[in-house]
Amino acid sequence: MKKTIVALTGASGNMGSECLAELMKSDAVDKVKILVTSVSKDRKFAADAKKRYGEKLVVVVGNLKDKRSCKTLIEGSDYVFHTAALIPPLSDRNAAETYAVNFGGTKNMVDAVCETEGKQPKFVHVSTVALYGHRNYLHPWGRVGDPLLPSVYDVYAASKLKAERYVLDSPLNCWAVIRQTAMLHYNMMKDNMSDGLMFHTCVNVPLEWSTSRDSGYLVRRIVEKDIEDGAEKFWKRCHNIAGGESNRVTGYDTYDKLLRTIGTETEKVMRPVWHSVRNFHGLWFADGDEMNDMFGYCRDNMDDFCAEIVKRHPVYKIAGLIPSKVISEIGFKRLLKHFNSPMEWVKKGDEGRTRAFFGSKDNIRFAYRDWEGFPVLAKGEIADGNIDYDAIRKTENLGKFGYLLDHGYDESKPDEELDIEDMRAAAAFRGGECLSPAMTKGDLYTKLEWRCHDGHVFYASPYTVLKAGHWCPTCCQPQPWDFDRLAKFMPFYAQVWYDTHAKGENTEYFLGGKNGDKALYRRY
């Protein structure tokens, strides 16, 4: 194999550290360059990594917000994997810093690659499932090209949407976007026991988990496969990182699988009313097999990985000796008072977040206080009756249940046959029009001129609009979160937005305050 140099951001994170470990195992990789900040935690990580990996590791001290640091990182590299991001709950507390890191940092990385003298390195941007926004049992399945509807007040998702769009609109020679799904990692239980964020996860939200270990292995396989045969189907496309059928669950059984490893279960330690009923993110991937077919990275089973988490943290074994009632009190009920907990929003009169996550105060007043009568999707129970939970999670039954969303053009046509009429149809389905009079049939990457319903004129490639799910970069990128209004004239949005929102809600959401942490809204 040809030796190569890989640049990696976010190496100290849960995904990035696994990427680094896997790249170091690869005979195809000569050196890995990582970017770390000067804070003590990152310095310690870099020092430990240097001892472990020696000369194969090159440490660049800097910051994503500093373009010079980004240029130093990518200099001489053949591949750039951009995994770094400010994620929840930290992103919930400082909107300005989140945009500076997630969007500004991505912009700096992309610009640094584009300004490279000589051959550009290949650029892989790690995006997120959070771009798709909330799903429920009506449309639990999704794929690349679906509407991008980041949940209200989710600054992380909004900043990542803006960052992904910058990648797609850029003059990068060779790029790919991989949208990371919900990710299991070894610190998951510890991290979730310190913030009210855990109650943002809806009981019945569809979730398809991957593990940090598999995600790291994917990055290694992308490099190795590309060196072997060019990985042609991977580049200049967006992809979903999926986990497969065994990792396809809901919020309820995610908690249950983790809790059973310590000797208890969801219904013994939680109550359904503690959780929001909408405005999270998660789905099952109808196109999840595509990247696995290319790279064969899905190896981990969710049950086995949960058991391994407990093995790595022996303290959890002690929990098996503690009564469930005590675990509920000290592990969960105390977090109901956390400022990031939905129940605390209700108590403190945060009307913006209450409306976004519950629909109204009345919905909380009449919510189930215990599990009796509460419909649990993981048990095959829904508000409309019963459903075969095992059947709806199988890819082969997708056609039977009709869960896939319409993308507004004839998807039965091969890409090389798509023409200007398909562009016009897709634009109309999004409430706008394609202004370009013509296009080269099958050319998905030359930008065309479009106009949205609000009259904003913009340029975007057919791939960005039809295949990646983006639309107007002005009115369709929060903030504000204006999807109640947009869905009224965009069938593309309406087909999924009204699964969890009433047509008469008529609410526009936005953030205020010094750090962008004040939840504001207005009715119209």
Domain locations along the chain: 4-185+205-242, 415-523
Q: How much is the pLDDT for 21? A: 97
What pLDDT score was predicted for residue 204?
96
Q: What does the pLDDT read at residue 189?
A: 74
Give the pLDDT of residue 361: 86
Q: How many Cβ atoms from other residues are within 10 Å of residue 370's Cβ?
A: 10
The vertex-450 CA angle with 444 and 452, nearest 5°, equals 130
Question: Are the CB atoms for 458 and 447 separated by under 8 Å?
Answer: no
CA distance 38 to 63: 8
Of residues 507, 481, 493, the one with CA closest to residue 359: 507
Of 195, 187, 17, 243, residue with least CA distance to 91: 195
What pLDDT, on the 0 to 100 scale, is given for residue 299?
94
Q: What is the pLDDT of residue 2?
A: 59
Helix (H) or strand (E) holding 175: strand 175-180
Residues 38 and 27: their CA atoms lie apart, in Å, by 30
- Strand-pairing partners, residue 122, are 79
Sign of CA dihedral 286, 292, 297, 302: positive
- 265: phi then psi, degrees, rounded to nearest 5: -155, 165
Write the CA distances from 429 to 89, 242, 332, integer angstroms. Answer: 35, 28, 44
Q: How far is CA 160 from CA 6, 11, 286, 332, 519, in A?
A: 23, 18, 22, 30, 20
**CATH of region 4-185+205-242, choose from 3.40.50.720, 1.10.10.10, 3.30.360.10, 1.10.357.10:** 3.40.50.720
CA–CA distances in Å: residue 369 to residues 135, 366, 373: 23, 9, 10
Q: What is the pLDDT along the chain (524 residues), one digit of tens a residue?
A: 557 999 999 999 999 999 999 999 999 999 999 999 999 899 999 999 999 999 999 999 999 999 999 999 999 999 999 999 999 999 999 999 999 999 999 999 999 999 999 899 999 999 999 999 999 999 999 999 999 999 999 999 999 999 999 999 999 999 999 999 999 998 877 777 789 999 999 999 999 999 999 999 999 999 999 999 999 999 999 999 999 999 999 999 999 998 888 889 999 999 999 999 999 999 999 999 999 999 999 999 999 988 888 888 877 777 777 889 998 998 899 999 999 999 999 999 999 999 999 999 888 888 888 999 899 999 999 988 899 999 999 998 988 888 899 999 999 999 999 999 999 999 999 999 999 999 999 999 999 999 999 999 999 999 999 999 999 999 999 999 999 999 999 999 999 999 999 999 999 999 999 888 899 999 99
pLDDT at position 401 is 84
Q: Per-residue DSSP letters for 208-249?
A: E-EEHHHHHHHHHHHHHHHHHH--TTTTTSEEEE---GGGEE
pTM: 0.96
